[in-house]
Amino acid sequence: MLILSRKPGESVVIGENITIRILQVKGDSVKIGIEAPRETTVHRQEVYEAIMQENRAAAKVDKDIVSLLPSKIDE
């Protein structure tokens, strides 16, 4: 893990096209801005973990449900 100290207005660059800028430090809270290409997803960690949990749950398909699916789909 890289650990850096930054002041408001300073930035960190990741790769060629992601910039993280410190916007404000107030008490124990830091406001950051993230500039990244549209195709790059950016989530807070708790949101990302919820998405991953939902994806894992969706991937667990009950075999009884699968047996109810038609064996051949008409074209």
Q: Tens of pLDDT along 14-63?
A: 999 999 999 999 999 999 999 999 999 999 999 999 999 999 888 877 66
Answer yes or no: is 51 within a domain. Answer: yes
Phi-psi region of 29 (alpha: psi -120 to 50; beta: other; left: phi over 0): beta
**pTM value surpassing 0.85:** no
Decide if pLDDT at 3 tops 70.
Answer: yes
Domain coverage including residue 53? 11-68
User: Does residue 5 belong to any structural domain of this protein?
Assistant: no
DSSP E strands in 1-75: the ranges are 11-14, 18-26, 29-35
- State the total domains in the chain: 1
Count how many residues are written for the chain: 75
Whether 43 is in a domain gets the answer yes
Rounded to whole angstroms, the Cα distance separating 24 from 47 reads 22
Compute the half-sphere exposure of residue 56: CA atoms within 13 Å on the CB side of its CA: 6
